Chain A
Amino acid sequence: AQKVTQAQTEISVVEKEDVTLDCVYETRDTTYYLFWYKQPPSGELVFLIRRNSFDEQNEISGRYSWNFQKSTSSFNFTITASQVVDSAVYFCALSEADRNTDKLIFGTGTRLQVFP
């Protein structure tokens, strides 16, 4: 069965600290995509990144970076020098193999609180 696990329910850090959000997935498919979304207090999920199963290169976008390791079925997200505006719930998601429906399987989310 396909599954996404975000074991960290809540993380609190002080501004400027680095923080890593963990994501572990399970799938039988050889082709799949992984996603990260941010849900700020306003409620609307915002797409952050999509990574396919054949591309294990790490990605960096400003203060954000993602580490994809197929060997450990993990797709971890690191925020460098965190800021108060990073406070949100972050969701990791896995796409199913059926490319006609684009269904996503979400983890339970990690709530990040960044204190000034």
Chain B
Amino acid sequence: DVKVTQSSRYLVKRTGEKVFLECVQDMDHENMFWYRQDPGLGLRLIYFSYDVKMKEKGDIPEGYSVSREKKERFSLILESASTNQTSMYLCASSAAGGWVEQYFGPGTRLTVT
């Protein structure tokens, strides 16, 4: 079974802090994704990566950056957390080859106070 894990289920940070959200997948997937989920807005893509050290902006990249130094790990970084970044963050991975399903981690609920 594909397993995608995220470093924390719940996280509380203060405004202005630098925040790291970590995601690890164990299926040797090429593609990895970061989404945020907000009520009424569904899932919105922040960044994705289709290879090590490669990254592409999604629909809402502002205020975020990412890092992919190893194939299995994809990190989301909030350089200076703000209250409007309070949200559920979901990581996903998928194999290369086109139009395949994504496998999701359990999510990190981040609260910025």
Name which of B16-24, B69-77, B94-102 contacts chain A. B94-102
| Complex Cα gap A11–B33 (Å) | 29
- Cβ–Cβ contact A102 & B94, under 8 A: yes
Set of chain A residues within 8 Å of B100, measured between Cβ atoms = 50, 102
Partner of A109, one of B9, B42, B45, B56: B42
- What's the A-B contact tally at a CB cutoff of 8 Å? 63
* Interface residues on chain A, number (Cβ under 8 Å): 26
State how many angstroms separate the Cβ of A7 from the closest Cβ of chain B: 13
User: What string of 1s and 0s marks CB contacts (under 8 Å) between B44-62 and chain A?
Assistant: 1100101000001010000
- Cβ–Cβ contact A108 & B41, under 8 A: yes
User: What string of 1s and 0s marks CB contacts (under 8 Å) between B77-100 and chain A?
Assistant: 000000000001010101011111
Chain A to chain B contacts (Cβ below 8 Å), 21 pairs: A6-B42, A9-B40, A43-B9, A43-B88, A43-B90, A43-B107, A44-B106, A44-B107, A50-B101, A91-B42, A95-B99, A99-B98, A100-B96, A100-B98, A101-B48, A101-B50, A102-B98, A102-B99, A104-B102, A106-B43, A108-B40
